[in-house]
Chains A and B, each alone.
Chain A
Amino acid sequence: MNFDFADQAPKLMMLLWGLVAFAVVVGGLIVLLDAVPAFFARHREAQLVAASVSGSPPPRRTKPREGLFALFFLLPTVLLLLIGLVVPAVRTTLLSFMDSGSQNWVGLDNYRWMFAEDAIVRVLLNTLVWVTLVPLVATAMGLLYAVLVDKARLESLAKSLIFMPLAISFVGASIIWRFVYAYRDEDQEQIGLLNQIVVSLGGAPRQWLLDSPLNTLLLIVIMVWIQAGFAMVVLSAAIKAIPADIVEAARLDGVNPWQMFRQITLPSIRPALIVVVVTISIATLKVFDIVRTATNGNYDTSVIANEMYNQAFRYGENGQGSALAVFLFVLVVPIVIFQIRNLRRQRREG
């Protein structure tokens, strides 16, 4: 056995330090917040006593200093966000206008490179395919399944089955599906399910992950497999929230299930649908793990997040990597604005 607890000791020590730091920081903050107001209260009492003894008018009561308190409540969060997100995001934006070593300004060169290099254009196109297909298919599957199992027997078990992939890491999911796509020579027995199906239907086995553009679609299947569960859960909750009397009234009118779906269900769950599509779109734009684990971005399957990692952390091209990150951000913004507008409209109507 190669597993020695002595090797793990420094890590566990580190974990212990981490937990101690947590206890000290959080506990300290809370104690501080408790002690300070108590001190002020005592101080004021003393002042009052002194004032009543000497007969002079009592000091004016100072306003409760909520601002000061709030500062301490907010301090850790705001500080961490500044150091960890705000400043880095601004810096990345600046870096995207500089060369690979972040020494000289190069203007828009990195962005020009993005749209001129064939390989990168390919990456952008792949991302476009991902972000159109994944939200659509995953939401459609989730919706279909949510409608089908609604009020069915064993509903919660049926939902758990679809929902489970959400707990599996993208890396794990990619391995699961690579096994489905596994390839053996024609004269050997197939070990991958997909090729086995193809062979038993009389076809020849294929190296699924090497053929572009089919391989991108097969990677998209993995993402759909994961996200459909999310869509299903949210939409199922929305379907259950439709008032029963509306459904009952429609049934009295004798609508068939399809009409029911088109005229009652769909309009009622529109807000939930939008949330689902938007959330999945954003997650899809940032997809990285799947492409990296399944093909490492080879065979024309790379996407923006993967290329960004390669440029910045493998090739040392900080400028180009940053430009890709900024472009990713630019793609996310309109989706979010769309969602915020929708939320506002709903609130006004509601």
Chain B
Amino acid sequence: MTTTTPPAAIGTQATEPRSTRAARVGRRLNSRIATLVAIVIAIVWTIPTFGLFVSSLRPEAEIKTTGWWNFFSNPEFTLENYQDVLFGQSSSSGQLANYFINSLVITLPSVLFPLAFASLAAYALAWMNFRGRDWVYIGIFALQIVPLQMALVPLLSFFSRGLSLGGVTLMPAWNLDGAQNFAQVWFAHTCFALPFAVFLLHNFMSQLPKDLMEAARVDGASHPRIFRTIVLPLIAPALAAFGIFQFLWVWNDLLVALIFAGGSEVTAPLTVRLAELAGTRGNEWQRLTAGAFVSIVVPLLVFLSLQRYFVRGLLTGSVKG
């Protein structure tokens, strides 16, 4: 190799061993094929959503009789589907504006509560010394694997009948009605989120520099003070990661909402209403397409604007319960 390579060109040629034309052509061909395959996958992945979006903007008669790809040869554009599905008068039209508010009311506290409780717990587990600390952590960690299906039936009966152990009432029945049922959903989502939240935040917190903590202790700062003034600002990215995670999870959840929010228009979120529409009016595509987009748009915005944090959260390696 050295005998054939002129010394002046070593810098560029050394990395390409005896790079003949055939090899170079081969590599370029390879990268062409690679690009092509990647583009094909990207198209296949994007086109279903795109088709639905285009459809949601077409008039009802068009959606039901011709494929959405006809939109490009015969563009007819309307926002009527959105108007109808969000604010329509008839009971079959969706009234999604109503359910949109429900989704919001469900989601906000369901994100805030686990975030606060888990960061407190994670701090204790990472930086306080007490007996049995590791065992508590392992216990919470292990709870991640309990499928939430395991908790549904008894939790629902706790809400309606309360919890008593050997005749002692530990928690009275909640007896909620109307909008108060939101509390059940918040409670359920908070419980189900905690193991993963503690795990994720503990991972971040335990990586904070030990010197920093010890210096603060030596200065006489108490634990609550360290937690508020030092730890919370430092783990803000982790809080964001979990916040987005939990937001998407709650907003997109169907199972917990079905069971604890019920199907009434007072408390049911968008997902429940959409699933219902898809079940009873599966061919009303003008409503389903627009409705699906109404439900998608908020998580998509959150996701696209905060993708960085979300990815970081994912990369911590997780098993969501």
Contact = CB atoms under 8 A, between A and B. Distances in A.
A329 B182 CA distance: 28
B79 interface: no
A140 to B, nearest CB: 11
Given A169-B296, A190-B67, A191-B285, A14 B163 contact: no
Contact of A8 (B98, B121, B180, B275): B98
Given A171-B295, A292-B275, A80 B117 contact: yes
A15 interface: yes
A1 B87 contact: yes
A234 B314 contact: yes
Interface stretch (A54-62, A103-111, A119-127, A320-328): A320-328
B182 A171 contact: no
Contact of B251 (A8, A169, A248): A169
Contact of A148 (B34, B45, B228, B300): B34
Contacts of B292: 171-172, 175-176
Interface string A72-102: 0110111011011111110111010000000
A191 B65 contact: yes
Interface string A256-291: 010000000000000000010011001101101100
Interface string B130-163: 1101001000100101111111111100100001
Nearest to B19: A254
Contact of A92 (B154, B179, B254): B154
29 contacts: A8-B98, A13-B179, A18-B109, A33-B223, A67-B131, A74-B120, A77-B120, A77-B198, A83-B163, A83-B170, A84-B188, A88-B158, A158-B42, A167-B296, A169-B251, A171-B295, A176-B48, A177-B48, A178-B278, A179-B51, A179-B288, A179-B289, A191-B65, A193-B67, A234-B315, A237-B315, A289-B271, A308-B149, A312-B153
Given A152-B35, A288-B254, A289-B255, A18 B288 contact: no
A143 to B, nearest CB: 12
Which of A93, A175, A282 lies at the interface centre, i.e. has the most chain B CB atoms within 10 A of its CB?
A175
Given A2-B89, A12-B105, A86-B143, A78 B153 contact: no
B223 to A, nearest CB: 5
B246 interface: no
A175 B278 CA distance: 7
Contacts of A242: none
Given A22-B113, A254-B17, A309 B255 contact: yes
A275 B317 contact: yes
Contact of A168 (B49, B86, B136): B49
Interface of B: 14-15, 17-18, 27, 30, 34-35, 37-38, 41-42, 45-49, 51-52, 55, 63-69, 86-89, 95, 97-98, 101-102, 104-105, 108-109, 112-113, 116-118, 120-121, 123-125, 128-131, 133, 136, 140, 143, 145-155, 158, 163, 170-171, 178-180, 182-183, 186-188, 190-192, 194-195, 198, 222-225, 227-228, 248, 251-255, 258-259, 266-267, 271, 274-275, 278-279, 282, 285, 288-289, 291-292, 295-296, 299-300, 302-304, 307, 311, 314-315, 317-320
A172 B291 CA distance: 9
Contact of A325 (B51, B152, B291): B152
Nearest to B252: A169
Given A84-B190, A174-B278, A179 B52 contact: yes
Contact of B320 (A37, A152, A283): A283
- Interface residues of A toward B: which range? 35 or more
A88 B155 contact: yes
A128 interface: no
Pairs of residues from A and B, 6 with the lowest C-beta to C-beta distance, nearest first:
A84-B191, A169-B252, A73-B124, A167-B303, A88-B151, A88-B154
A70 B140 contact: no
Which of B17, B87, B101, B120 lies at the interface centre, i.e. has the most chain A CB atoms within 10 A of its CB?
B120
Contacts of B147: 285-286, 305, 325, 328-329, 332
Nearest to B283: A182
A42 interface: no
Contacts of B52: 175-176, 179
A84 B151 contact: yes
B180 to A, nearest CB: 7
B38 A158 contact: yes
Given A88-B150, A95-B154, A160-B304, A171 B278 contact: yes
Given A81-B194, A167-B299, A26 B15 contact: no
Given A77-B121, A193-B51, A237-B315, 19 more contacts: A3-B98, A11-B267, A29-B120, A34-B224, A66-B128, A80-B187, A80-B191, A80-B194, A85-B194, A89-B151, A91-B153, A93-B150, A148-B34, A148-B37, A166-B303, A225-B45, A289-B271, A309-B259, A313-B152
A73 B128 contact: yes
Which of B47, B198, B307 lies at the interface centre, i.e. has the most chain A CB atoms within 10 A of its CB?
B307
A162 B45 contact: yes
A116 B191 CA distance: 35
A19 interface: yes
Contacts of B278: 171, 174-175, 178, 293-294
A333 B145 contact: yes
A225 to B, nearest CB: 7
Nearest to B294: A172
Nearest to A9: B179
Contact of A70 (B46, B130, B253): B130
Contacts of A308: 149
A49 interface: no
A18 B109 CA distance: 6
A144 B98 CA distance: 42
A233 B314 contact: yes
